């Protein structure tokens, strides 16, 4: 079955075929089950917190969140208040009271919205905690919060890098725990280099962060400060550092099939396939160039195909030279992007291939390695390419499950 989700509400649902992102909900379901099983092998009681920020890494909220809820997921993480509200509305429609943790900044003046939507706000610092507490007291609210601690990422969080900072963090948390206006549901840290598996300096850094986090926990518990949930692992650490699972693991990019390494320990499947069609075919004569800047010049006659896909759709300009898959009448064929990628179009060298206008093209998604190859070509990471697929590209969902699909246009 197929469903459509358009990120730009002002853009109508897909009319005909141009460029689209095909989202395989069966693959999302498979990845969730594999990752949860992997976590539970060493930590049977640890929760999997599904990180679905940035429209579920570009895959679209409604059906991705609904699918994870149906699998039993009871905790999500997002980056902002707006994202939290969007996920909460989906949860309410599914009669779920799943926890939703906001990992980033929310203006303390929005405390009422946090309470109304049952969202858990991260405390970014002692000063931020005081500001949010003041708003909660002024509005007679009780807010769910978690405490971010800085063990070495040096981005946000209560400082926790040495015994003096552990003591200072405990002193800051004591009055917050005593207040009826804030309910501290968890404490977490974030690893800076856990995904650099096999690099000694990266392992040393992650080991140091975990040592600091465990030391902080011991200090808080010794001070009689009881907090129900501690978590440190991101996607890579959830796989490669099972000893650090603690009470939960925050898993994001792996849910969507982007491997943490070239040799992942679980059989992930790509959730997104970026697809387009051949819009035009023509011959490039010897000595002629194609596209802006004349960077590609034919030494002999070449056959070119033009695709209605460019950097405004999410294919970076740096991906000239990428290999994509043409689905021709005689089977799948590989072709190379030539010339500069334009805002809305790009060109392929299809010399010698039996290509016809209207043939489908898969840019990535047949194999997780395809996305990684593109991200390396762009000097980036899988996360950025997935999140960079433009809102004008409709998300087309496929799902073989018997549950009824919905259509949002």
Phi and psi at 387, nearest 5°, equal -70, -20
Nearest-angstrom CA–CA distance, 33 and 204? 30
Q: What is the DSSP string of 258-273?
A: --SSSS-SS-----EE
Give whole-number Cα distances, 43 to 34, 191, 231, in Å: 14, 19, 12
Nearest-angstrom CA–CA distance, 40 and 335? 42
Phi and psi at 153, nearest 5°, equal -70, -35
User: Do 148 and 229 form a contact (C-beta atoms < 8 A)?
Assistant: no
CB atoms within 10 A of CB 147: 29
**DSSP state, 119?**
P
188 φψ region: left (φ > 0), alpha (ψ -120 to 50), beta (else): beta
Give the start-end residues of each E strand in 242-339: 248-251, 272-277, 280-284, 289-290, 296-297, 302-307, 323-328, 331-338
Nearest-angstrom CA–CA distance, 209 and 198? 17
Structure tokens at 384: 């950025």
Question: Exposed/middle/buried for 324, CB within 10 Å: 0-12, 13-18, 19+?
Answer: buried
Structure tokens at 16: 């005909």
Nearest-angstrom CA–CA distance, 162 and 212? 7
Catalytic residue annotation: 53, 292
**DSSP state, 335?**
E
Using DSSP, state whether 352 is helix, strand or coil: coil
Nearest-angstrom CA–CA distance, 328 and 358? 10
């Amino acid at each position: 079955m197929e469903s459509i989700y358009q990120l730009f509400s002002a853009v109508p649902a897909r009319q005909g075929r141009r460029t689209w992102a095909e989202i395989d909900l069966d693959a999302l379901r498979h990845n969730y089950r594999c990752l949860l099983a992997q976590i539970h092998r060493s930590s049977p009681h640890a929760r999997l917190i599904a990180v679905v920020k940035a429209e579920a890494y570009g895959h679209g909220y409604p059906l991705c969140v609904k699918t994870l809820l149906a699998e039993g997921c009871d905790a999500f993480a997002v980056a902002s208040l707006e994202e939290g509200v969007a996920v909460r509305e989906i949860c309410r429609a599914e009669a779920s009271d799943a926890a939703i943790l906001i990992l980033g900044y929310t203006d303390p003046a929005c405390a009422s919205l946090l309470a109304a939507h049952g969202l858990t706000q991260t405390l970014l610092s002692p000063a931020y905690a005081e500001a949010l507490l003041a708003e909660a007291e002024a509005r007679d609210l009780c807010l769910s919060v978690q405490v971010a601690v800085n063990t070495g990422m040096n981005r946000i969080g209560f400082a926790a890098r040495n015994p003096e900072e552990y003591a200072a963090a405990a002193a800051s948390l004591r009055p917050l725990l005593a207040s009826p206006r804030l309910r501290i549901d968890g404490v977490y840290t974030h690893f800076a280099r856990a995904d650099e598996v096999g690099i000694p300096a990266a392992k040393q850094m992650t080991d140091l962060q975990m040592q600091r986090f465990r030391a902080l926990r011991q200090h808080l518990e010794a001070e009689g400060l009881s907090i129900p949930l501690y978590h440190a692992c991101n996607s890579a650490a959830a796989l490669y550092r099972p000893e650090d699972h603690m009470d939960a693991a925050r898993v994001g990019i792996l849910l969507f099939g982007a491997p943490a390494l070239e040799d992942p320990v679980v059989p992930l499947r790509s959730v997104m396939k970026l697809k387009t069609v051949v819009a035009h075919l023509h011959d490039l004569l010897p000595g002629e160039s194609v596209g802006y800047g004349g960077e590609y010049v034919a030494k002999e006659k070449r056959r070119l195909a033009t695709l209605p896909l460019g950097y405004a759709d999410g294919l970076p300009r740096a991906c000239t030279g990428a290999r994509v898959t043409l689905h021709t009448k005689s089977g799948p064929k590989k072709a190379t992007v030539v010339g500069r990628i334009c805002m809305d179009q790009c060109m392929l060298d299809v010399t010698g291939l039996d290509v016809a206008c209207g043939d489908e093209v898969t840019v990535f998604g047949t194999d997780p390695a395809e996305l990684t190859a593109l991200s390396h070509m762009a000097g980036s990471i899988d996360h950025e390419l997935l999140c960079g697929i433009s809102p004008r590209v409709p998300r087309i969902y496929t799902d073989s499950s018997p549950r009824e699909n919905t259509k949002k246009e």
